[in-house]
Amino acid sequence: MKIVIYGLGYVGFTAACCLAREGHEVIGIDVNADKVNEINSGHSPIKEPQVDALLTTALEKGLIRAQTEISDLVDVDLAIVCVGTPSSIDGSHDMGYIAKVTEQIADCLGTGRTEPLTVTYRSTFRPGTVRQLVEPIFQSRLGAQTDAAVEIVYDPEFLREGSAVNDFFAPPKIVIGTRDGKRSKVMDKLNEGLDAPVFNTGYEEAEITKFVDNSWHAAKIVFANEMGRVCHRMGISAKKVHEIFVSDTKLNISAYYTRPGGAFGGSCLPKDVRALQHMASEIGAYTHLIDSLVQSNEAHKTYQAQDIIAKLPKGGRVLMVGLAFKAQTDDLRESPNVDIARRLLQGGYQLSVYDPAIKPEDLRGQNLGYIFAFLPNVGELLVDKATAEAGPWDLVVASNSIIKGLDLGEAEVLRTYEYD
């Protein structure tokens, strides 16, 4: 198929590379001209395992290219929208980018198509967004020709940073939302060969799926960390308690997100929890556990920062290993490690950071804005592997699994991503 993807962030760019590997012709659209030029010259705009090799192969085969705009969708089989839905001041999702891209797609449809263009949205939507925002935009542009011109689908993504390529080809589930809940032929063709349960449903059920999933992931992390703090204070092995807890696969379900360790962060969980809080407040649903998640998560950051500081002499030298939200990525948005680093600097400690995936000159968009808002001197803090291993350090703070690649000798290491 010929596929156009709007938005070349983590989700959009990963999807572009994976779909090209499947033999589809992919055109990526992004307003950032620098990002477009990087992709066309073979440089990935994100740090994510496997995407560099996929991009190189796709370019060699002529199956992928990036542009800042597209004026004609007549011969396109599928348009995928992956633009951002950042948090507004009140916690709700800002749908401005969605509205703008939808208008652009509608204006590009024109005439000459023999079949409706399938337009699928992968950005996180509040339930009702397709019917109340997306459909009205198409109808205002296309009028009576709307149904003949476009098939609207909501298709939430389930990609984890650090394993996004593997998740794309082996998703936990596939959820396809359509107006009447019936199957989409184009989406069936797109998902051929993927081994996962498929749910064909209405728009609203598909739209709320990510809120349910991400809030549950956030709840598991908060629960694990609260239990971890109790164990830590009482001198109990949280690691052993976790081992016992996750062995129960009948009632405790699974081991994911239940290991006591770092706070949650990144681009999805904080944003979607805040949006669900806003939604629940509006409709009078009293979600007290959900309301407590962000507060408990912030408390966990404070707890870990205090635990680190208690082990340091005044003005001590600290090496933080891992600043990004996840190892082998450069996503710094709402990373709990950024918050801890900021607190250490404010406390007068000499902080250095080892995270080979982070290069300030490569950061883009919200990722760039976030780190320079909260840690503007990040470039001065970063050190190379030789410097990290040379030390000396009063304390090494291991924020993620990057620590496994360092030889730190006898240095004291505090692992904040798991409790022993």
| Active-site residue flag, 17 | no
Cβ-based neighbours of 251, under 8 Å, separated by 6 or more:
none
Measured from the Cβ of residue 126, the count of other Cβ atoms closer than 10 Å reads 20
d(CA 316, CA 347): 10
Q: Give me the catalytic one of 18, 82, 108, 268.
A: 268
- What strands lie across the sheet with 174-178, from one edge to the other? 64-67, 25-29, 2-6, 78-81, 117-121, 150-154, 174-178, 198-202
d(CA 121, CA 152): 8
Spatial CA neighbour of 311 closest among 275, 273, 349, 259: 349
d(CA 9, CA 280): 29
Spatial CA neighbour of 94 closest among 61, 129, 65: 129
N-term to C-term CA, the chain: 50
What is the token pair recorded at 203? 């728009």
d(CA 113, CA 25): 18
d(CA 183, CA 176): 8
Q: With b meaning 16 or more CB within 10 Å and e meaning fewer, what string describes 223-234?
A: bbbbbbbebbee
d(CA 131, CA 135): 5
Q: Position of tokens 């806003």?
A: 278
d(CA 9, CA 16): 10
* Residues marked as catalytic: 268
